Amino acid sequence: MAIYTVRRGLLIIKEVICMKKITCVGYHDTGSSVVDDLFREFPCFAQGGVDKECRFLQDPDGVADLEFNLVENPHRLNSGFALKRFRMMAKENHRVYEKIFGKSWMQHVDEYLADITKLKYKGYWHGDIWLLNPLVKNFHWFRRGINKVLPKSIAKPYWYNYFPKLETYHCCINEEEFLKKTKAFMERLCAELAEHGTEYILLDQLVHPNNVPRYLRYVNDLKVVIVDRDPRDIYIEEMRYKEHILPTDPYVFCEVYRDSRKNKHDYENPDVVLRINFEDMIYHYEKSVKTLCEFVGVSAKQHKYPKKYFNPAISIKNTKFWERYSQYDEAIKIIEKELPDFLYKY
């Protein structure tokens, strides 16, 4: 494995071995956290921010969107706008990512943006105004409106189009260079989690389960565990907790459930992607643990704290909801009719 150096300017903070990364992902309420909990029982895994989702590659304005605007759809204005929006996304979610990667999160973000930005200059376009705080933005539109009704001899365009502190980011980067610098960014972040004896970095929800190949390009040595779950339990859980993320109409729920898994088999590489059911982790615990260990490359001897964080005897209560909540019987009949191929075979 390669040695990676973490720097602050000219100062070397530490040197670490580039480690393997594991991410556990799902489709919402599929129970992927059970895999995170299982791997926490292995001391060779490092995980920052337990129960915190690490979504900055796939979320809106994240790395995937950044690549689209810088590489696939480059434009002198859109590219700079995308760089600013990426930083805003990182800043808005800094509390989450600081719990995962530590207090240096924004410093790493700024180093990454500096790496992929060719230059900056004083200036802006109307898209930059959208990013201003509401007070400044409203004052701008008010001032612009006033200027439009003034006589031309008095009105000055720069009165309403002048923001001397705004900068434009200019970027010109190809795919190879973007991926190289993104991977370096990821290594710097993962180095923050490195501890003595750590062999693996565990990051929750790092990639999207329907477009795995795209995200594998951003991270060195990444393996993906995709967890799915019986739609009947997902539906009832949504109805019980009223998260308003999934539809409550059973027919609409089935459409959304089916569509979200439409591309699930487009990429099948058993060395990189493992698909497993939440129910397997409970009803076939020993077999599932063995499968996961073989997939990531750890031995059973490294499982130092079995069932400390994930105990199937406790989690079994999160299965077969339809047997205990009869008020959803009619909806369950619809789901069973519409999604027979997705029902878990008990």
- Look at residue 148 in the predicted model and tell me its pLDDT: 67
Cα dihedral 173, 176, 182, 186, rounded to 10, equals -170
Nearest CA to 29 among 247, 284, 324, 224?
A: 247
At 34 the three-state DSSP class reads helix
Q: With beta carbons less than 8 A apart as the criterion, state whether 182 and 62 touch.
A: no
For the chain, residues with pLDDT lower than 50 are 1-3, 8, 10-11, 13
- Look at residue 258 in the predicted model and tell me its pLDDT: 95
- Look at residue 142 in the predicted model and tell me its pLDDT: 65
- Look at residue 137 in the predicted model and tell me its pLDDT: 65
CA 190/CA 101 separation, integer angstroms: 7
Output the 3-class SS for 180-221: HHHHHHHHHHHHCCCCCCCCEEEEECCCCCCCHHHHHCCCCC
Q: With beta carbons less than 8 A apart as the criterion, state whether 191 and 111 touch.
A: no
Nearest CA to 96 among 48, 26, 166?
A: 48
Predicted structure pTM score: 0.87
Direct distance between the N- and C-terminal alpha carbons of the chain, in angstroms, rounded to an integer: 42
Nearest CA to 197 among 16, 63, 323, 345?
A: 16
Structure tokens at 95: 């509390």
- Look at residue 2 in the predicted model and tell me its pLDDT: 46
Q: Which fold has domain 20-47+198-346?
A: Rossmann fold (3.40.50)
CB neighbours (10 Å) of residue 15? Answer: 12
- Look at residue 77 in the predicted model and tell me its pLDDT: 80
CA 87/CA 108 separation, integer angstroms: 11
Question: Residue 197 half-sphere exposure, CB side, CA atoms within 13 Å?
Answer: 5
Residue 130, exposed/middle/buried by CB under 10 A (0-12, 13-18, 19+)? exposed
Residue 19, exposed/middle/buried by CB under 10 A (0-12, 13-18, 19+)? buried
CA 195/CA 63 separation, integer angstroms: 26
Nearest CA to 155 among 165, 167, 143, 164?
A: 143
- Look at residue 160 in the predicted model and tell me its pLDDT: 53
What are the pLDDT digits (tens) for 166-207?
788 888 999 999 999 999 999 999 988 877 567 899 999 999
* In the chain, where the domains are located: 20-47+198-346, 126-165
